[in-house]
């Protein structure tokens, strides 16, 4: 499972350490902690992080807002942190559509809430979505990056959809219809009223028993879905 990486750009050592500890406590990876614009820009270009926390006044030729402006085309969620509650700073940062603007001093739970919300945004259908080949799913009080191509099948259990991967099951409180809309149509197909499979994960199809066989699972094939499945398979 790929870790979520966070870049911290902060020139105040005490705040940098506080932010780093919070990120690590949440279970995410701190890509680096830097205090100047030059090093920050070099790191972003070399190892693109999932999320950036940046102070507005940092060392170097550029301030935090100028750094954010330089990397805006990469569409990485940014949280600004500053001790200066000035309307002009807020206006400059707002033009870049940051995820959040936090004023120092802040408490742990304010930052935690902003970080978790920003990471959830990465897996949503928001216009700010950076990538579309994975979801972020809450698991054991942290958000796991789950690649869509590693999902074998999905089934309904009550009010939840259960996503099955090789590593584990993920429970998502969402209807199957809504979840289906978030999946690539070319890769996934509904085979039963309460089940969706990834076509590439099908090992066998038992036409007599009307079952679809995957690695570690045998699923029923509903009569109304049979023709759709056969039409999607590469038959000889």
Check residue 26 and give its pLDDT. Answer: 86
Check residue 87 and give its pLDDT. Answer: 83
Check residue 1 and give its pLDDT. Answer: 38
Distance in angstroms (rounded) separating the CA atoms of residues 49 and 52: 7
- Which distant-in-sequence residues (6+ apart) come within 8 Å of 226 by Cβ? 210
pLDDT of the chain along its 236 residues, tens only?
347 899 999 999 999 999 999 999 888 899 999 999 999 999 998 888 989 999 999 999 999 999 999 998 888 889 999 988 888 888 888 878 888 889 988 888 888 888 888 877 665 544 334 335 788 888 877 888 888 989 999 999 999 999 999 888 999 998 999 899 888 888 899 999 999 999 999 999 999 999 999 988 999 999 999 999 998 887 77
**What structural domains does the chain harbor?**
5-122 (3.40.50.2300), 134-232 (2.40.50.1020)
Quick one: DSSP state of residue 59? B
142-147/151-157 β-pairing: unpaired
**Two tokens, residue 230:** 């056969």
Q: How many residues does the chain have?
A: 236
Distance in angstroms (rounded) separating the CA atoms of residues 200 and 166: 14
Neighbour tally for 77: CB within 10 Å: 24
> Cα angle at 130 between 124 and 135, to 5 degrees?
40
């Amino acid at each position: 499972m790929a870790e979520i990486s966070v870049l911290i750009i902060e020139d105040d050592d005490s705040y940098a350490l506080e932010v780093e500890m919070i990120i690590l406590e949440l279970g995410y990876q701190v890509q680096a902690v830097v205090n100047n614009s030059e090093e920050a820009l070099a790191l972003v270009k070399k190892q693109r992080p999932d999320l950036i926390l940046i102070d507005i006044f940092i060392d170097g030729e550029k301030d935090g807002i100028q750094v954010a402006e330089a990397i805006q085309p990469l569409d990485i969620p940014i949280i600004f942190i500053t001790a200066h509650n000035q309307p002009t700073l807020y206006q400059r940062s707002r033009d870049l559509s940051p995820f959040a603007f936090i004023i120092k001093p802040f408490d742990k739970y304010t930052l935690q809430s902003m970080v978790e919300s920003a990471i959830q945004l990465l897996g949503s259908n928001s216009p700010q979505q950076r990538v579309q080949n994975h979801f972020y799913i809450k698991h054991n009080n942290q958000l796991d990056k789950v690649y869509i191509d590693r999902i074998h099948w999905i089934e309904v259990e009550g009010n939840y959809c259960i996503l099955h991967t090789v590593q584990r099951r993920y429970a998502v409180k969402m209807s199957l219809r809504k979840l289906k809309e978030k999946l690539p149509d070319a890769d996934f197909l509904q085979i039963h009223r309460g089940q969706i499979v990834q076509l590439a994960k099908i090992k066998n199809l038992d036409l007599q028993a009307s079952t679809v066989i995957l690695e570690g699972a045998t699923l029923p094939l509903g009569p109304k879905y049979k023709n759709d499945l056969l039409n999607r398979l590469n038959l000889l």
